[in-house]
C-alpha cells in the first residue's frame, strides 16, 4: 500500500492530474508548487537545498514524483543556465535526498531525448537530443541514476488535458490557433506526435507506485508511457476545426522544418511501451477527439 506521496509541480498540467489521481485513491499526498500555490498545495522552492532538506526531514515521504521542470524548448534554448538548474541540478539533489530517506523517486522525462530518426524507441535506445530542453532532461535522468540507481525515469510525449489556460499545453493552445480565423498561420505538419492525456499518465504512475509498494516485480529504472495515436499539429487542428465547426483555411501546413527555428524538434519520437504494458500497467486509453469534444463543450470560454 502506498503511504505518503509527494508530487512536485502540482500546480502544473501533469502535476495537478497526478496529485488529484492519488488523492482520489485516498493516498496521503502532498502537492508542491512554487509560483502558483493554491488550495492545499505546499509552497517550496526546489532550488533552495536547505528548504528541500528540511522538507524531507519533516515529511519522510515514501514516494517523490518529480513533475516540475522547464518544459518549453524555446525558453530552454535561450536560457540554458536556468534550464540546467531546474532540469538537472534540482532532480540530482532530490535524488540524493530520496536515497538518504529511502524514498522511491519517479522522475518525469521526455521523448525529446531522442532525435526522431529511428522510431519506435525502446527504453535502451541511444538518446540523441536535438535541443537543449532534451539535453537537460537527459542529463537530469542520468544524474538521478548516478546518485540513486533505484530511481525510475518515466519518459512521456507531448501532453494535453484540462488546462487552466491554453498555454499550459502545446496541444491545447492549438485550439486558440484554430479559433483565430483572422490570423494566418503556418502549422507543423511534418513532425509526428503522440499526444497523451495527463490523466492516463497519472493513472499509470499510481499503478506503478502500487506495484512498487507491493513488490510485485523488479522494476526497470526507465519506463515509457505514451498513447499510440499518431498526429501532427496540423492533424490536431483539423480535429479541432471539425469539433468547433470552424474552417481552417487560415492555417497552412508546414511540411519542412523551418530554417529559423529557435529549438529544433525531432520528427518522430514514438516511445515503445511494450515493456510498460508487460509490467501490468494500463495502456493510455483516452480518445483524443472524443475527449476534446467534451472538453471544448465544457470549457470553451478559456480559449
Nearest to 152 by CA among 76, 91, 111, 70: 91
* Model pLDDT, residue 23: 97
pLDDT band with cut points at 50, 70 and 90 for residue 2: low
Does any domain span residue 250?
no
Which range marks the domain in which residue 40 is found?
4-160+197-227+265-286
Does any domain span residue 188?
no
Does any domain span residue 303?
no
Mean pLDDT of 221-247: 98
pLDDT band with cut points at 50, 70 and 90 for residue 3: confident
Mean pLDDT of 65-92: 96
Does any domain span residue 190?
no
Helix axes 233-244, 288-298, angle to 10 degrees: 50
Q: How many CA atoms lie within 13 A of 134 on its CB side?
A: 18
Structural contact between residues 10 and 41, judged by C-beta atoms closer than 8 angstroms:
yes
Give the total number of structural domains in the chain: 1
CA–centroid distance for 62 within its chain: 21
* Model pLDDT, residue 22: 98
pLDDT band with cut points at 50, 70 and 90 for residue 260: confident
Has residue 218 got a pLDDT over 80? no
Does any domain span residue 135?
yes
Q: Which CATH number does the domain housing residue 94 bear?
A: 3.40.50.720
Structural contact between residues 198 and 161, judged by C-beta atoms closer than 8 angstroms:
yes
Q: Which residues pair with 189 in a beta bridge?
A: none
Grid coordinates representing 63 are 514516494
Has residue 143 got a pLDDT over 80? yes
pLDDT band with cut points at 50, 70 and 90 for residue 241: very high
Does any domain span residue 149?
yes
Q: Is the pTM of this model over 0.75?
A: yes
pLDDT band with cut points at 50, 70 and 90 for residue 135: very high
Helix axes 90-100, 132-147, angle to 10 degrees: 20
Bigger pLDDT: 216 vs 3: 3
Does any domain span residue 183?
no
Q: How many CA atoms lie within 13 A of 223 on its CB side?
A: 26
* Helices assigned H by DSSP within 219-302: 233-244, 274-278, 288-298
Structural contact between residues 270 and 121, judged by C-beta atoms closer than 8 angstroms:
yes
The mean pLDDT value of the chain amounts to 96
The beta-strand segments (E) located in 169-208 are 185-188, 196-197
Does any domain span residue 238?
no
* Model pLDDT, residue 123: 98
Grid coordinates representing 246 are 470552424
* Model pLDDT, residue 1: 58
Amino acid at each position: 500500500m502506498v503511504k505518503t506521496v509527494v508530487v512536485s509541480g502540482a500546480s502544473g498540467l501533469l502535476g495537478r492530474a497526478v496529485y488529484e489521481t492519488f488523492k482520489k485513491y485516498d493516498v496521503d499526498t502532498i502537492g508542491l508548487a512554487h509560483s502558483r500555490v493554491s488550495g492545499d498545495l505546499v509552497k517550496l522552492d526546489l532550488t533552495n537545498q536547505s528548504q528541500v532538506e528540511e522538507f524531507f526531514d519533516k515529511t519522510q515521504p515514501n514516494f517523490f514524483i518529480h513533475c516540475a521542470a522547464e518544459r518549453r524548448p524555446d525558453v530552454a534554448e535561450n536560457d540554458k543556465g536556468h534550464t540546467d538548474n531546474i532540469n538537472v541540478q534540482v532532480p540530482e539533489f532530490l535524488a540524493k535526498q530520496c536515497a538518504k530517506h529511502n524514498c522511491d523517486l519517479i522522475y518525469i522525462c521526455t521523448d525529446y531525448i531522442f532525435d526522431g530518426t529511428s522510431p519506435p524507441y525502446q527504453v535502451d535506445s541511444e538518446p540523441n537530443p536535438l535541443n537543449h530542453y532534451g539535453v537537460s532532461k537527459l542529463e537530469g535522468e542520468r544524474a538521478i541514476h548516478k546518485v540513486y540507481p533505484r530511481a525510475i525515469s518515466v519518459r512521456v510525449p507531448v501532453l494535453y488535458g484540462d488546462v487552466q489556460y491554453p498555454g499550459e499545453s502545446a496541444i491545447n493552445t492549438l485550439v486558440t490557433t484554430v479559433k483565430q480565423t483572422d490570423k494566418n498561420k503556418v502549422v507543423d505538419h511534418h513532425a509526428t506526435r503522440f499526444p497523451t492525456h495527463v490523466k492516463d499518465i497519472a493513472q499509470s504512475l499510481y499503478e506503478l507506485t502500487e506495484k512498487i509498494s507491493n513488490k510485485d516485480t523488479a522494476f526497470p529504472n526507465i519506463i515509457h508511457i505514451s498513447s499510440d495515436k499518431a498526429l501532427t499539429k496540423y492533424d490536431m487542428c483539423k480535429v479541432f476545426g471539425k469539433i468547433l465547426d470552424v474552417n481552417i483555411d487560415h492555417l497552412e501546413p508546414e511540411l519542412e522544418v523551418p530554417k529559423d527555428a529557435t529549438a529544433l524538434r525531432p520528427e518522430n519520437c514514438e516511445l515503445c511501451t511494450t515493456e510498460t504494458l508487460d509490467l501490468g500497467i494500463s495502456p493510455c486509453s483516452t480518445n483524443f477527439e472524443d475527449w476534446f469534444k467534451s472538453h471544448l463543450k465544457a470549457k470553451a470560454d478559456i480559449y
